Amino acid sequence: MNVQSVSIGECVKVIGGFAFKSKDFGETGKPVIRISNLQNGIVNTEGAVKILPEKVGKGSKATIIGGDILMALSGATTGKIGVVPVNIEGPVYLNQRVGKFEIVNNMMIERAYLRHYLESEMIQSQVWKSAAGVAQPNISPKQLEAYQIPLPPLSEQKRIAAILDKADALREKRRQAIAKLDELLQSVFLDMFGDPVTNPKGWEVKKCRELYRSAPKIGTIRPAKGEGFKVVRVGELGQRVIDFDNCGRVELSNVEFERFSLNIGDTVIARAIGSKKQLGKASFFDGYHEPIVIDSHVMRLRPNQDVCDPKWFYFLIASPRGKLILQSKGGPTAVQFNINSKQANDLEIPLPPISNQRVFSHLFSTIESEKVIQGEHLSKIDTLFASLQQRAFKGEL
Amino acid found at 259: R
Residues contacting 129, CB < 8 A, separation 6+: none
- How confident is the model over 363-392, as a mean pLDDT? 92
At 270-312, the pLDDT tens digits run: 998 877 777 888 999 999 999 999 999 999 999 999 999 999 9
- Among candidate residues 372, 359, 347, the one with its CA nearest the CA of residue 178: 372
Q: Which residue has the higher pLDDT, 292 or 2?
A: 292
Q: Is the pLDDT of residue 134 over 80?
A: no
DSSP state of 203: P
Go through the domains of the chain in sequence order and give each one's CATH number: 8-112 (3.90.220.20), 204-351 (3.90.220.20)
| Residue 339 confidence class, pLDDT cut points 50, 70, 90 | confident
Taking every pair of C-alpha atoms in the chain, what is the biggest distance, in angstroms? 72
pLDDT tens by residue, 155-181? 999 999 999 999 999 988 999 999 999
DSSP output for 220-270: B-SPPBSSSEEEE-GGG-SSSS--GGG-EEE---HHHHHHHB--TTEEEEE
Average pLDDT value over all residues in the chain: 91
Lowest mean pLDDT among 87-101, 273-287, 356-370, 377-391: 273-287
pTM, two decimal places = 0.71
